[in-house]
Structure 1
């Protein structure tokens, strides 16, 4: 793995860590005594309580049936993003939330896990997965076009996720080095 690839992977892992440490709201499905998880202390909770906790804890509690994370269904968000991207011209890219890909990956993993346990969910997982790949393919092709045609303007930067900014800058660097090598013989 090249130095640039290692830096990209490290940066993506940093973004994912920040995503997992961010707080989310969760509705408790049952009462629980006070809980200590690492350096995090949760007070006693009752069924119906809404608490703010780090995402990674909320996900564990949701998997165990103790809580439900309060967010818009990610299926709907993905399909909206894909529709917006298809409407845009090839030289235009729509805005995604900065944590979009992290949430997409987590939702994909969850759907895959559920589909492995319940065959009736397989089609939903396959449809979601196909849409995720379609969105990534569309945005990647648009990014390639934009890298070759324009600098990373403040307007464009606002529309990209941190992962896409890293990809944009990495591709731009590769192209600039390639141009220098071809034109200047370095």
Structure 2
């Protein structure tokens, strides 16, 4: 038994999460240009290309990180997002972490992990799930299955279907936690009930 499709799932999250964080993100749409979007952000000066509060810095960073925008500038995006992250804007911390671990700019995995940790400790669901994968894979940090299980547990308790799937597998196999088939099966069933295909397939293989 193995982690079905795990690596593909984790790296897909890492490379595209910056486009999926908030449904209310400030990126441009078909009916408006990037300039028009920026002009609507309260606390952002279009003339000076400057932001004056955490939300404004975050949304300006999102706009400049959108490769479909005429104002696309990942370096400038990092600057805006860093300002917001320093002001403890939790979504900016996660967005910046994803950008720093993408191919948009030279990666900085150490800073990315630190930002995910900071956001996860503030109960940010995606950050918790990402850390579960980061510590399981061991590509950016030393592999640590106990910490991986911890962060999957935190995300699973918030109802994250994929976290429930991986944690369920951990309990069944005794990976990073004491082996407990009952807990493992319960987590897989919760995950499958949310439509997680991997969990449903694993339950089927286990005869459930």
Q: Same fold (TM over 0.5)?
A: no
Name the TM-score class by shorter chain: 0.3 to 0.5
Bigger relative contact order (CA 8 A; separation at least 6): 1
TM-score by length of structure 1 reads 0.38
TM-score by length of structure 2 reads 0.35
**Higher strand share goes to which structure?**
1
